[in-house]
Amino acid sequence: MTEVQRAVGGERHTAALTMHDGQPAGPVRTGSRTSTGTRTGSATETATRSATETGAGVLARVTPQLRRIENRVRREFVRRIGISYHQLPPRAAVRMAYTVLLRREPDEPAWTEQTDAMVAGLLSHDDIVDRIRCSSEFRTHVAVAPHNLHVALHASRCEFIIGLPPARRIVDLGGGHTTDARGALVVLGYPYEFDELVIVDLPPDDRHPLYRSDRFDDSDTASGRVRYEYRSMTDLSFAADASVDLVYSGQSIEHVTESDGDVVLAEVRRALVPGGTIAIDTPNGRVCRMQQDALIDPDHKVEYTLEELVAKVESAGFEVTSVRGLNWGGPAAVAGHFDQTALARYTGLYADAANCYLLAMVARKPFAAG
């Protein structure tokens, strides 16, 4: 007999002791006479009350158990039928949002307060999620697992890109996306509208197998016109002198040799308007060498340290205006050791760029440049 059968059977047995179709159980005849001629009504009534009280006591003990069973059955039912989050009742929805996003059970009184607010129509299912996503706990205490470091790096690059300045004419070096024709800059969250975004990338067949994609055509997007130039980033001849407001090099300068990198920077400086911006994010050679002796990507030609990158950009005639790092390596990196757990945990932009996995630099072409 299962726990459910035992509990339900116990309740049914208790009820059978007391009532049947609304009448006392068994052939009880109140007011009848025994063989001695004495009345048995009072004794029968006493026995009935005793049985009723006993049954009520058993039922009281069984009811909490039944409720626990009911809750387990309900949870299993929800799990099996695949009900969506938006279909969950308020209390269950709050719990699911907490356990998925914060990886813990909701605490009181927040659980009850948010449940009551949903019941009253003051908070929706999405409101619960938004409140958690915008909380300091979610941003700073929910760590990304070490084996998902690449996902954490992606999130940090998004934060870097949304901090770039507004620009009407943009060139993205190596900015092709493997599946989206809008390109990496837009997909990663660049928030501003533009007149034209030119994506410079090698023809798909000329790329390393890791980075091959479909060949996308020019298109109009919600942000602006996206145009493709399939060529090496060392050749920006399509751009007139002083015609570009922003150049973004996201995970691309490490794919050309150091000498070709100098050519790229010279071409960028030529194409930028005075005061125009170049933004670069690239692996940090110092931390990558803690990880392994070899370059971290089979298509990389170089991985710069912070000092090397600053010197290279400044020697090309730019003024470095901001240096940040993406995904801090924590105390271990400061001490010269690779700690993947820390790198995944400390997602975002950090001032201690030298000890971050990626370097994120912003520089500008001087206004007095000829």
Which pLDDT value is given to residue 52?
A: 57
Q: Give domain status of residue 342, yes or no.
A: yes
Q: Give domain status of residue 12, yes or no.
A: yes
Question: Are residue 232 and residue 332 in the same domain, yes or no?
Answer: yes
Out of 35-39, 77-81, 176-180, which region has the weakest mean confidence (pLDDT)?
35-39
Question: Are residue 167 and residue 265 in the same domain, yes or no?
Answer: yes
Question: Are residue 99 and residue 232 in the same domain, yes or no?
Answer: no
Instruction: Give the contacts of 81 (CB within 8 A, at least 6 positions apart).
Output: none
CA dist., res. 125 & res. 96, Å (int): 10
Q: Give domain status of residue 25, yes or no.
A: no
Q: How many domains does the chain have?
A: 3
| E strands, the chain, in order | 19-20, 23-24, 169-173, 196-201, 219-220, 225-230, 244-250, 272-283, 319-328, 349-350, 356-364
In CATH, what number is assigned to the domain containing residue 316? 3.40.50.150
Question: Are residue 284 and residue 190 in the same domain, yes or no?
Answer: yes
Q: Give domain status of residue 54, yes or no.
A: yes
Sheet with strand 244-250: strands edge to edge: 219-220, 225-230, 196-201, 169-173, 244-250, 272-283, 356-364, 319-328, 349-350
Boundary (domain end) residue, out of 125, 141, 157: 141
What tokens appear for 228 in the block? 């493709």
Question: Are residue 168 and residue 218 in the same domain, yes or no?
Answer: yes
Question: Are residue 311 and residue 195 in the same domain, yes or no?
Answer: yes
Which pLDDT value is given to residue 209?
A: 86
Q: Give domain status of residue 254, yes or no.
A: yes
Question: Are residue 152 and residue 262 in the same domain, yes or no?
Answer: yes
Instruction: Say how many C-beta atoms besides its own lie within 10 A of residue 191's C-beta.
Output: 11
Question: Are residue 328 and residue 190 in the same domain, yes or no?
Answer: yes
Question: Are residue 177 and residue 264 in the same domain, yes or no?
Answer: yes
Boundary (domain end) residue, out of 141, 163, 179: 141
C-alpha pair distances (Å), 73 with each of 66, 69, 80, 348: 10, 6, 10, 42
CA dist., res. 276 & res. 273, Å (int): 5
Model confidence over 61-104: pLDDT tens digits? 667 777 788 778 777 766 666 789 999 999 999 999 999 999 99
**Cis peptide upstream of residue 109 (ω within 30 degrees of 0):** yes
Q: Give domain status of residue 23, yes or no.
A: no
Question: Are residue 105 and residue 197 in the same domain, yes or no?
Answer: no
Whether residue 37 has pLDDT greater than 80: no
Instruction: Give the contacts of 59 (CB within 8 A, at least 6 positions apart).
Output: 11, 14
Whether residue 172 has pLDDT greater than 70: yes
Model confidence over 302-338: pLDDT tens digits? 999 999 999 999 999 999 999 999 999 999 999 999 9
Boundary (domain end) residue, out of 141, 159, 183: 141
Question: Are residue 166 and residue 224 in the same domain, yes or no?
Answer: yes
Task: Look up the domain containing 185 and give its range.
Answer: 147-364
Q: Give domain status of residue 33, yes or no.
A: no
Residue 40 binned pLDDT confidence (cut-offs 50, 70, 90): very low
Q: Give domain status of residue 26, yes or no.
A: no
Whether residue 22 has pLDDT greater than 50: no
Question: Are residue 353 and residue 309 in the same domain, yes or no?
Answer: yes
